[in-house]
Chain A
Amino acid sequence: MTKSELIQRIADAHVDLYQRDVEKIVGAIFDEIARALAQGQRVELRGFGAFSVKQRAARVGRNPRTGDSVDVSEKFIPFFKTGKELREKLNPKG
């Protein structure tokens, strides 16, 4: 499912909403998550999961082809941990 399919499905299921409003809602939600992460904030959504940012220290890497050493600068990696409830939904007990 892509973002536009997500918007389409929601719009189909909620006839009271204009598609362009659904677009704005979906956009606002994921933009807000991205904005928070870019400020170093954590985003915790119970029942879904939590987004956080992990810091990777600067290191000396290697070009695997030539063996040359390359300086890799410090960087920040977004990280997602699945929430308990969603994990259980993906693995329903038999």
Chain B
Amino acid sequence: MTEIISTITRADLAEAVYNELGLSRNECANYVEMVLNEVISALERGESVKLSSFGSFSVRQKGRRVGRNPKTGEEVPILPRKVLVFRASHVLKAKINRGLAKTAGKPVGASGTPVAGDGA
């Protein structure tokens, strides 16, 4: 891949809010924080957060299980814990696939040649 994947951050979200609302840039940065904090505190309380046409975040409880240190092979208990799961909505998935299908000029890599089905 020759293309550098760029990363956007809070500052870009604040800029988007600024373009939408005007107000001061400083305030817009605070508004981004305010929204993220509200989402975080709902998740901390164990609530799921469903954002239509974007996706949903939910907190899942994982049970205790025995893991293994891959380096030493030693067994280690993995304690019960909570994990956050994000499920993208169909709308978001469609948007991403529409957006990237265009740009993908399909410069398929070295081994990217289609393989003849093995008796498929």
Q: Which residues of A approach B to under 8 Å, CB–CB?
A: 1-3, 6, 9-10, 13-14, 21, 24-34, 36-49, 51, 53, 57-58, 60, 69, 74-80, 82, 86-87, 89-91
Contacts and interface: CB of A to CB of B under 8 A. Distances in A.
Nearest to A37: B96
B95 A34 contact: yes
Contact of A10 (B21, B34, B83, B98): B34
B61 to A, nearest CB: 10
B7 A42 contact: yes
B17 A60 contact: no
Question: Helix, strand, loop or mixed for chain A's interface?
Answer: mixed
Given A6-B49, A42-B8, A25 B40 contact: no
B71 interface: no
Contact of B5 (A24, A31, A41, A76): A41
Interface residues of B, number: 55
B87 to A, nearest CB: 9
A26 B96 contact: no
Contacts of B82: 90-91
Q: Which 10 A-B pairs have the closest CB atoms?
A: A38-B99, A80-B86, A32-B16, A28-B20, A78-B88, A42-B7, A90-B82, A82-B84, A69-B120, A30-B54
